[in-house]
Chains A and B, each alone.
Chain A
Amino acid sequence: MSEKTIEKTAPAEGAVSDKATAAEEKAAARQASLIRDGWEILRKRPMFYISAFVIVILLALAIAPGLFTSRSPFSDGFCQLQNSLNPPSSGHMFGYDVQGCDIYTRSVFGTRNSIIVGVVTALATTALGGLLGIIAGLRGGWVDTILSRVTEVFFALPLIVGALLIMSIVGGGDAWSVSLIMAVLGWPQVFRIMRGEVIANKHNDYVMAAKALGADTTRIAFRHILPNTLAPVIVVTTMNLGVYISAEAALSYLGIGIQHPNISWGLMISDATDRFLTSPHALLFPAAVLSITVLAFIMLGDVVRDAFDPKMR
């Protein structure tokens, strides 16, 4: 008797679900993973395509600047002082700067440094902050206490001010050193988010279930907790891309970020400020390129947040 009823009930339940429409089946395939889940929302947003288009061009500029200009800012005779501050003309659509260098070419070659700073800093802060956040959240106790206090010290120090301080001591240099310094200052933000998410997730029953199966800490951290905490971290990382790019420009503008002969949009803007009234083009073009870049990343961050942040749904 007992067997029979169950035989009857069990497949029936399956049968009901089997009647799930094609739409439901599609939904099944669709909402497969975190990434695909977010992608479903992303691909419906025009803002995503606009920002992605700009970013793809920026990446191309950064990787292969030679494709966009035949000149090289590092070749001899690139800057001709007699061209100093010449306005835009047919072959030189952004005109020339004080040194008589072609602004367009310099802007193209400057992309790489901006992108390096943005991507490297964002990834480094995420890696460092994320890892420490998982450790602090999972271990708790004194490890958590110490790490949390350390981050509070960093939080008292705004990014730019902190970078100013460090760089005025050790000096700026190229994109890599600027990235390193900003990553050192920026990780606590990701740490705080990650730690909070881990603490919120680690008491979930599925973590308990994994422990009950005999899973070790590594498995629990990376297989169970990490995938469920990633969404807000992805959002912050994307947002930070733009933030770090503009921070680099600001530091370079102040003269302590990227140094000559490296090219940086911030440096170009800084060089052009004195003569803004007489030759505005020398400032406006690099400023416009910088603005478009930062805007593209912030826009991307915004749509990514809509797509990934569960609180936004």
Chain B
Amino acid sequence: MAEPVKKETAVDATPGVTDVIKKDASTTTEVEALLDVQVDRGEPILQVRNLVKHFPLTQGILFRKQIGAVKAVDGVSFDLYQGETLGIVGESGCGKSTVAKLLMTLEKATAGEVFYKGQDITKLSGRALKAVRRNIQMVFQDPYTSLNPRMTVGDIIGEPYEIHPEVAPKGDRRRKVQELLDVVGLNPEYINRYPHQFSGGQRQRIGIARGLALNPEIIICDEPVSALDVSVQAQVINLMAKLQDEFNLSYIFIAHDLSIVRHISDRVGVMYLGKIAEIGSDEEIYEHPTHPYTQALLSAVPVPDPAAREHRERIILTGDVPSPANPPSGCRFRTRCWKAEERCSTEMPLLAIPERFRGQDTPAAHESACHFAEEKDVVGAA
């Protein structure tokens, strides 16, 4: 299964990213002790390095043989700082949801590391992994499938306490669940109801309450509002922003909706075909994008204002996203890029501050994986 990681994926130099803080711990108890350490605001809490996930493509029923691999995530590196929201945007199939699953260790990484407080969680198992899971929680996309239809709301939100009994003593749990319901804006008396008795927005609140139960430090949100009605989306987004302040949470916010990501994120990473194309602060990405893909993506976002729209330049990409089983050589975006030259097909651009902006004090000086990175204002903000 483990396919050898190609050289080109392994050397994604990311100078802007802080060096990994590694902490050695040999026993489980030591690991647990390290996980209890508080991280200061603004310090990296989660460090992802060259994360790779290849799903093998197999043939045959009885004797399976591998005929290739879907390169869902192919060398992703970033830091998440305590207390911030890192947005990850990209089109379907870019690997953003796989990144979420890898960070949650719901999928086993093919290669690469995820350091949480200096511990590589991809190598942990058993009790140590369970301790990590207490601190990293997830909110799922579909509020209709992410809640067990055969469990009451009380059981769903209380389940974390059953799995981690040390967090709350038995007699205390019901009260805690009701508190959580109250925190997410639901009536605490609903504790005995079943998920199907709630609307989509309310269900997502239940999912958020479950994610909060163990008092985690990081919440990974995989498209948490895309299944909701427009008028309810805003409620949930506001709730998440409020909870972040209240519980001192760090978010990784994965979505395809660039407007929502901008609204909630401090920093944003743009993914394309399993790689990060560009990463920077929300201002850097939205107002000074340098990667052509980011520019195209931004220019395609429908703006609900026909007047503002007329001043915008639109870049309409041709074609579709290539298959991640067989990505283009060199720069993965080159098949749809209007700037593509010979160099793009042979040399893979690294995610780094483009040479021309290096050392300059300009918002364009952020990491962008393009040989021909240049600024282009596509949002049309005044």
Contacts and interface: CB of A to CB of B under 8 A. Distances in A.
B238 A5 contact: yes
Interface stretch (A27-35, A235-243, A254-262, A287-295): A27-35
A140 B370 CA distance: 42
Q: Which A-B residue pairs are the 8 nearest by beta carbons? A: A10-B185, A205-B146, A227-B150, A214-B133, A14-B187, A206-B148, A214-B130, A205-B145
Contact of A28 (B62, B197, B207, B214): B197
Contact of B194 (A5, A31, A205, A228): A31
A227 B148 CA distance: 9
B147 interface: yes
A21 interface: no
Interface of A: 2-3, 5-6, 9-11, 13-14, 17-18, 27-28, 31-34, 145, 204-206, 208-215, 219, 223-224, 227-228
B239 A6 contact: yes
Contacts of B133: 212-214
B185 A11 contact: yes
Contacts of B129: 214
16 contacts: A2-B241, A2-B242, A6-B238, A17-B190, A17-B202, A205-B141, A205-B146, A206-B147, A208-B138, A208-B146, A212-B106, A212-B133, A213-B137, A213-B210, A227-B148, A227-B151
Interface bracket on B: 35 or more
Given A9-B185, A209-B146, A209-B210, 11 more contacts: A2-B238, A2-B241, A3-B242, A17-B187, A18-B187, A145-B62, A204-B146, A213-B137, A214-B134, A223-B159, A227-B151
Nearest to B127: A214
B193 interface: yes
A108 B285 CA distance: 83
Contacts of B104: 212
Interface string B142-180: 100111111110000001100110000000000000000
B235 interface: yes
B81 interface: no
Nearest to A15: B187
A48 to B, nearest CB: 23
B70 interface: no
B201 interface: yes
Contacts of A205: 140-142, 145-146
B194 A13 contact: no
A142 to B, nearest CB: 9
Contacts of B185: 6, 9-11, 13-14
A219 B161 CA distance: 13
Contacts of B151: 223, 227
Nearest to B139: A209
B194 A204 contact: no
Interface string B102-139: 00101000000000000000000000011001100110
B145 A206 contact: yes
B229 to A, nearest CB: 13
A216 to B, nearest CB: 8
Interface in B244-300: 245
B196 interface: yes
Contact of A9 (B138, B141, B235): B235
B22 to A, nearest CB: 24
B122 to A, nearest CB: 15
Nearest to A226: B150
B119 to A, nearest CB: 16
A205 B100 CA distance: 13
Nearest to A208: B106
Contacts of B145: 204-206
Contacts of A212: 104, 106, 133, 137-138
B193 A28 contact: yes
Nearest to A224: B148
A14 B196 CA distance: 16
Q: Quick one: which of A2, A206, A208 has the most chain B CB within 10 A?
A: A206
A228 B149 contact: yes
Nearest to B181: A14
A215 B149 CA distance: 17
Contact of A211 (B61, B106, B242): B106
A32 B130 CA distance: 31
A215 to B, nearest CB: 5
Given A205-B146, A214-B134, A228-B148, A219 B239 contact: no
Contact of A32 (B184, B194, B202, B235): B194
B17 interface: no
B336 to A, nearest CB: 31
Contacts of B245: 2
B150 A228 contact: yes
Contacts of A210: 148, 159
Contact of A13 (B134, B148, B160, B201): B201
Contacts of A223: 151, 159
A145 B64 CA distance: 11
Given A211-B106, A214-B164, A10 B239 contact: yes
Contacts of A206: 145-149
A13 B163 contact: no
A286 B149 CA distance: 46
B143 to A, nearest CB: 9
B69 interface: no
